[in-house]
């Protein structure tokens, strides 16, 4: 972390002095508290509770209803645990004076704040890596369990997994060892040192996040478009995946605050609070996107109360379901000569079964009507290719 040049290093007891000289015409009021900190506590609580509830629903659905836990479940859980650790550290960052103007904060608090920001930035990399990997693995399980189902998704998702792992491994090393001696990262009183520009590293990470998030958002579009669904349903499903676009917006906002933390007289402590908040929001949104697909199966199992409450999230996803047939892939038109094994996670297992009224959504004009494979006949439904019974039953 870069430090402003206006630090009171010549004072008799610099630790008791303001961390930055106030701007002309501004009077310093020494404190490590501000009214804005209360808003951060509320926002951090909400960004923890909402994804936490969705994660519990996902784990319950996979463990009790589907009875199958896969690697993406472990990854999203690990991501959330790192996220909780970041929230705890964020509490100490606020106690150290984040969201307080730097000229009102004593240097001793500024050093503590920098130390906890250093820990916060170390925890960020595994948190964001695990949530991105969970999303990509979920794509593979649902949309490309085999290469023959969707070669583009199958290959691209794996390439993105490799790129993300390599980048964040390098990024974590750069963050952890940005200065020699390392203590200089949080202690501006050390005068003999060599450091990388940490703000530049943060900017590169934000740009990489935007790049990878856009690819992750666009990746399922082609697969969803192959589904034999009405246009409105396809748009609804893609829009649901596009919830992750908010993570791109979060990274763009982080860039703004990082730029504000650059310069000799930057108000680092005030802008640090906002940058940290948007980092938490990014991970929280990623967890929400990862867990949304489990809602329909949970709603289906637990009645009308949850259907009424959560239908806005679950209805678009119900159209992703398919009947359990060894002749079909995860997509309506996609077929493979190799039957799926019991280890393949299907859309039906995740989001539940179709209602009879939805049977026409998965009709394949190149084959017999799919409703022949359903365990129940559709009611009040006809199709031009379906044979209409006559009075004599023929």
Domains and CATH numbers, the chain: 14-297 (1.20.1070)
- State which H helix or E strand residue 180 sits in: strand 179-180
- Cβ neighbors of 342 (< 8 A, separation 6 or more) are none
Angle, alpha carbons 381-387-388 (nearest 5°): 65
CB half-sphere exposure, 91, CA atoms < 13 A: 8
- State which H helix or E strand residue 176 sits in: helix 151-176
Q: Which of 242, 202, 224 is nearest to 320 (CA)?
A: 224
pLDDT of residue 235: 78
- State which H helix or E strand residue 60 sits in: helix 36-60
pLDDT of residue 312: 58
The crossing angle, in degrees rounded to 10, of helices 198-225 and 107-143 is 20
pLDDT of residue 326: 40
- State which H helix or E strand residue 195 sits in: strand 194-195
Q: Is 276 helix (H, G, I), strand (E, B) or coil?
A: helix
Strand-pairing partners, residue 194, are: 180
CA distance 176 to 338: 47
Instruction: Kindly list the distances between the CA atom of residue 6 and the CA atoms of 9, 132, 188, 195, 343, in Å, as whole numbers in the listed order.
Output: 9, 39, 11, 18, 61
pLDDT of residue 144: 87
CB 346 within 8 A of CB 304: no
DSSP conformation class of 20: S
One pLDDT digit (tens) per residue for the chain, 394 residues: 556 555 555 446 788 888 898 988 888 888 889 888 988 999 899 999 999 999 999 999 999 988 889 999 999 999 999 999 999 999 999 988 999 999 999 999 999 999 999 999 999 999 999 999 999 999 898 888 888 888 999 999 999 999 999 999 999 999 999 999 999 999 999 989 999 888 888 899 999 999 999 999 888 888 778 777 788 777 777 777 777 788 889 999 999 999 998 877 889 999 999 999 999 999 999 999 889 878 878 887 876 665 565 565 555 555 554 444 443 444 444 444 444 443 344 454 555 444 434 433 333 334 333 333 333 334 444 444 444 444 444 4
Query: How many residues does the structure list for the chain?
Result: 394
Rounded to an integer, what is the distance from CA 69 to the centroid of its chain? Answer: 19
CB 131 within 8 A of CB 286: yes
Q: Which of 225, 228, 250, 248 is nearest to 238 (CA)?
A: 225
Report cis status (omega within 30 of 0) of the bond before 217: no
Q: Which two tokens stand for residue 90?
A: 């964020």
Rounded to an integer, what is the distance from CA 4 to the centroid of its chain? Answer: 33
pLDDT of residue 231: 80
């Amino acid at each position: 972390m870069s430090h402003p040049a206006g630090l009171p290093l010549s004072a008799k007891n610099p630790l008791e002095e303001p961390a930055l000289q106030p701007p002309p015409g501004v009077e310093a009021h020494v404190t490590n508290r501000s009214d804005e900190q209360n808003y951060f506590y509320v926002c951090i609580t909400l960004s923890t509770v909402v994804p936490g509830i969705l994660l519990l629903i996902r784990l319950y659905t996979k463990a009790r209803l589907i009875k199958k836990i896969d690697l993406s479940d472990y990854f999203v859980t690990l991501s959330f645990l790192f996220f909780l650790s970041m929230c705890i550290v964020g509490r100490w960052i606020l106690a150290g004076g984040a969201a307080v103007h730097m000229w009102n904060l004593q240097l001793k608090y500024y050093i503590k704040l920098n130390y906890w920001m250093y820990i916060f930035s170390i925890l960020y990399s595994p948190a964001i890596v695990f949530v991105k990997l969970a999303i990509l693995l979920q794509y593979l399980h649902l949309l490309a369990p085999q290469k023959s189902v969707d070669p583009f998704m199958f290959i691209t998702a794996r390439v993105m997994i490799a790129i993300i792992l390599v980048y964040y491994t390098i990024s974590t090393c750069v963050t952890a060892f940005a200065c020699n001696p390392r203590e200089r990262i949080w202690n501006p009183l050390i005068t003999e040192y060599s450091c990388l520009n940490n703000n530049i590293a943060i900017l590169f990470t934000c740009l990489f996040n935007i790049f990878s998030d856009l690819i992750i958002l666009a990746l399922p579009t082609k697969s969803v478009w192959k589904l034999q669904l009405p246009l409105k349903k396809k748009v609804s499903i893609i829009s649901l995946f596009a919830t992750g676009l908010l993570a791109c917006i979060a990274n763009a906002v982080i860039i703004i605050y990082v730029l504000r933390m650059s310069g000799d007289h930057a108000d680092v402590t005030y802008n640090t609070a906002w940058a940290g908040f948007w980092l938490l929001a990014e991970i929280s949104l990623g967890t929400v996107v990862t867990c949304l697909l489990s809602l329909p199966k949970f709603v289906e199992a637990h009645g009308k109360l949850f259907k009424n409450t959560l239908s806005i999230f679950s209805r678009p996803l119900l159209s992703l379901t398919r009947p359990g047939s060894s002749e079909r892939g995860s997509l309506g038109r996609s077929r493979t000569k190799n039957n799926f094994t019991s280890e393949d996670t299907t859309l039906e297992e995740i989001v539940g079964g179709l209602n009879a009224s939805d049977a026409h959504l998965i009709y394949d004009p190149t084959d017999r009507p799919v409703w022949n494979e359903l365990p129940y006949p559709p009611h009040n439904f006809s199709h031009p290719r379906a044979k209409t019974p006559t009075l004599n039953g023929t």
